């Protein structure tokens, strides 16, 4: 299919194949298009190089769903990323508390903070991508988007 110009674009509802619906959580964590759950949301599957971490196609290669719904759409992902970071901190605190314990007489709180900050720094590139995927899934429902057609 050759690229369409703006004058030739027509929007039609994407037809979802019957009985072949990919799972929601798997699609979010594999960062697939929320409309068809088959197309990749990011150009590079790898997190590296970091300067191309958030490069996304303008539209889904499978169904044509727009990846940026409006200018500045992804500013809200900061809140999602913050929630992921806070949730990770709580999980690390529970694991650390159950394995080593927190005591005010030693420096265990500083060990916890060091482990948590280090883990969050390492996970931040993944969280940035995951927060974009989650945020887009909040606004685009499965099979409700549109794709481009020249017909």
pLDDT tens-digit profile, the chain (151 residues): 444 444 444 444 455 555 677 888 999 999 999 999 999 999 988 888 888 888 999 999 988 889 988 888 999 999 999 999 999 999 999 999 999 998 878 889 999 999 999 999 999 999 999 999 999 999 998 887 654 444 3
Tokens of 5: 């110009």
Whole-model pTM above 0.85? no
**Helices marked H in 17-145:** 24-29, 77-99, 108-139
What's the distance, Cα to Cα, between the start and end of the chain in Å? 12
């Amino acid at each position: 299919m050759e690229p369409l110009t703006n004058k030739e674009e027509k929007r039609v509802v994407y037809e979802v194949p019957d009985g072949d619906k990919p799972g929601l959580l798997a699609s979010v964590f594999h960062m697939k298009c929320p409309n068809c759950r088959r197309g990749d949301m990011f150009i590079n599957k790898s997190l590296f190089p970091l300067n191309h971490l958030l490069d996304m196609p303008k539209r889904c290669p499978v169904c044509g769903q727009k990846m940026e719904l409006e200018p500045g759409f992804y500013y809200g992902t900061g809140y999602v990323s913050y929630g992921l970071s806070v949730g990770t901190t709580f999980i690390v605190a529970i694991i650390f508390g159950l394995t080593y314990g927190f005591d005010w007489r030693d420096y265990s709180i500083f060990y916890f903070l060091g482990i948590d900050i280090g883990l969050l720094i390492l996970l931040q590139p993944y969280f940035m991508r995951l927060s974009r995927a989650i945020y887009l899934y909040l606004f685009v429902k499965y099979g409700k988007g549109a794709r481009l057609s020249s017909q």
